[in-house]
Structure 1
């Protein structure tokens, strides 16, 4: 036994802890001397055991200097034979004795740790820019197709994760977790539009976890409610109801977010066959929301849930409830609100879905001409805007056209053929088997 072994026993360090302290002492020596031999030092557990057993009496450079820095004792003293009685006395001493070298080592460790923490501080301007990039991207979702949003959101998520490794400041980490969560939520919506449902689930769950880490209720509410959307789209209405009810329990959600939650809840209840609950939720979604918004839903774009989107979502719910007149009224209301905007940013996202719902409602009262007129602008959309939600709506219309009421109508046959051509090059179809056949619904509730 030697003094080195006794000091290790006294400290209670295992190999991993010793290696950490050994490297920290080496880093301090490099800082003092600039000697490159102190950079990236290595020590195997086998060598460490040989040092302790006394098989080595003088380790090779740079170990002697590092050990002196670490213990404040010369190498000859550390590796000199040490009696069992001396070791026992060291282990069982009732009052620890601190000499100046031990205090100096503690002080150096504290300074090194504080320096490491201070070095992991990001400029606020870096975070400001990343948050601005995320906001701009979210606001562009009404005019930028999903596949392009997906690419940009992936970059934002990657940057936020990289920056998290560069700061230990809690306030900065929370900001980065929020950016990562919002980017994940946006990616989930894009994955849904692109027909990649399993990935949409994964990304929504990631957004929920980021929201949990950041302790931010609106993001958790958004992510959990999006999971509800994905559940009812994949034919799991019971899980959709459970998830939306969980989403409504998170705090600090503003009026816009609450309207979104109510509209999604209405659809989930309708898929579950709970007509009364669905009607009550529709009523909640239409309550005057006032000026209050939380920071997430106030961004706009994908996170917004304006009145035209509420009306569009409710038209889908009313179709599920077989309320054709109600669905028609709600779909027309959505389109009227869009048309009333002086500079609308919603048509490519909301209007086509509202038009498809209107066409379905008109078919319920056998108005084939009206349905064809309502659907015509939708069928001319560029391929990149033919997302999963819209494609499923259009396919529902095609199924309705096969009913006995329209079977012999030439217009119905022409419309069905146009729908088939529309679907053939729609985004989910182009992606291939990742897309699934979905129940009637909308990409944002």
Structure 2
């Protein structure tokens, strides 16, 4: 047997690749790069057996585009290493085969499922869409107890698969289901992006969700998406635009009582940012009205991150009261939220609600100069892991810190110490590490999503 002349030759020999197997892998990798980059140079990329044999022998100059990038993806080494000469004349050292990890296994499973879906040609089995919807429902519900960066990566896979499926079917009933799934995935990704401190990306994803909702003719998805766009608008310092978005959201009729309460809470926050006291209080009152039996597929059936429980209602209202500098109203609402969470017998309340309600409670107590009470409210908040320190919580704590360093507490050593703890806590939060600096108003808004 001829000794290996190049690293490429060694890798092919190690894996026992025939030309047919190599050609299949090459084409599959080109298709993946086409999907990832959109660069048409990868469309239809193939390799001849003559080129394959020349590459094995090392009797070639550097391959032309797009071969270098395809080969790098396949083998994990740039073309210069795969085909480059060895100055000492020795056979290149064979790299150690990498150990399998969970991400590789997940990719294999995803590719297998995608390939099985593709094999169904232009008529998808309904079971394929059933599985997609089940996966998405699981992630929507898991989001309440899973850090956003973990959820983001998994939901991205669901969205990509939904897009592939849309290209594989012309059946209207199936396309409607897939548009809805793609919209729900985009909305969930938008919420994750906001939590990670990337509001501009969140806006793009929520706009996509609204458009998917329009294609699916689904009122509840459109209402949810426009409501979240309103959140992002006032969070970015545009409360007037937020009012326009929430007004649009409220025009969709096929929305359940929970969804309407959510929109009322968002409206209250937008009005509070504008200092429109009477409209804020009316909107808060709407959030507390008894809920009837009217349900919808987003806020009630799918629920999870899309739900709007009474705990969230009370916590959101506390933030609106704080914007009005109504400490008594904020304290009452924040305590109500925490009491409801403590009394809950299920694990459906999102993990982020209690820390945000506690932060609002601390701010309300500072407004009546109860520094000890504020420190007690913040004690459990300042111990939560970094991956849970989302944008809504960081904004609230920034507001608390601003109050602690105000003239009211300027000469208080405990206040200074607490402010320093908050600064250290938020310095390593995801929004600080990832998010660009943007204009923000006094209180964040991740709670009413």
TM-score (norm 1): 0.72
Partner of residue 152, structure 2: 150
Q: Show the 5 A alignment for 1:65-144.
A: 119-144=121-146
Structure showing greater radius of gyration is: 1
Contact persistence 2:353–2:447 (CA under 8 A)? no
Aligned-CA RMSD value: 1.5
Structure 2: state its 5+ residue gaps: 1-43, 45-119
Distance change >3 Å, CA 124–CA 434, structure 1 → 2 = farther
For residues 278 and 435 of structure 1, what CA distance do their matches in structure 2 show?
Answer: 25
Structure 1 contact 312–334 (Cα < 8 Å) conserved? yes
Whole-Å separation in 2 of the counterparts to 1:384 and 1:394: 16
Q: Which runs of 4+ in 1 moved over 4 A?
A: 434-438
Once the two structures are TM-superposed, the CA of residue 438 in structure 1 deviates from its matched residue by 4.9
* 1:223-256 alpha-carbon deviations (Å, 9 max, x no partner): 0010000000010011001110111001200011
From 304, 317, 322, give the equivalent of 1:319: 322
**Partners of 1:218 and 1:253 within 8 A in 2:** yes
Cα deviation, residue 161, structure 1: 0.3
Which digits, 9 at most, give the CA deviation of each residue in 1:269-294, with x for residues without a partner? 11112111111111111111123210
In structure 2, C-alpha distance between the alignment counterparts of 1:239 and 1:155, rounded to whole Å: 32
Question: Shift of the alpha carbon at 1:220?
Answer: 0.4
1:83 corresponds in structure 2 to none
Which residue of the partner structure matches residue 381 of structure 1? 384
Separation in 1, partners of 2:161, 2:168? 11
| Contact kept in structure 1, 2:305 and 2:350, CA below 8 Å | no
Residues 1:255 and 1:347: Cα distance change in structure 2 (over 3 Å) = closer
Tell me the equivalent position of 2:161. Answer: 159
Contact 2:220 2:259 in 1 (8 A): yes
- 1:343 deviates by 3.1
Match of 1:395 among 389, 395, 398: 398
Provide the TM-score with structure 2 as the length reference: 0.71
Structure 1 unaligned blocks of 5 or more: 1-39, 41-117
Check 1:388–1:354 CA distance in 2 against 1; reply closer, same or farther (3 A cut): same
The 1:259/1:432 distance shift into structure 2, 3 A limit, reads closer
| Cα offset, 1:344, TM superposition | 3.1
Aligned to 1:350: 353
Select the residue among 236, 251, 254 that pairs with 2:253.
Answer: 251
Cα distance in 2 for residues equivalent to 1:129 and 1:435: 39
Instruction: Give matches, 1:176-187, under 5 Å.
Output: 176-187=178-189
Measure, in 1, the Cα distance between the counterparts of 2:221 and 2:368: 41
Residues 428 and 435, structure 1, Cα contact 8 Å, conserved in 2? no
Residue of 169, 172, 190 corresponding to 2:171: 169
Give the superposition deviation at 1:411.
1.2
Distance 1:434 1:207, change over 3 A: farther
2:102 matched to which residue of 1? none
Deviates more, 1:267-276 or 1:225-234: 267-276
Q: Work out the number of aligned pairs and report it.
A: 329
Structure 2 CA distance for partners of 1:438 and 1:191, relative to 1, 3 Å? farther
Choose which of 427, 434, 444 in structure 1 pairs with 2:430.
427
Question: C-alpha displacement at 1:181, in angstroms?
Answer: 0.2
Q: Distance in 2 between matches of 1:432 and 1:321?
A: 27
Deviations 1:364-414 (CA, angstroms, capped at 9, x unpaired): 000000000001111111000000110010010000001222111121011
CA shift digits 1:207-232 (9 cap, x unpaired): 00000011100000000010000000
CA–CA distance in 2 between the matches of 1:432 and 1:277?
32
CA contact (8 A) 1:208 1:224 kept: yes
- The aligned residue for residue 66 of structure 1 is none
Aligned residue number for residue 329 of structure 1: 332
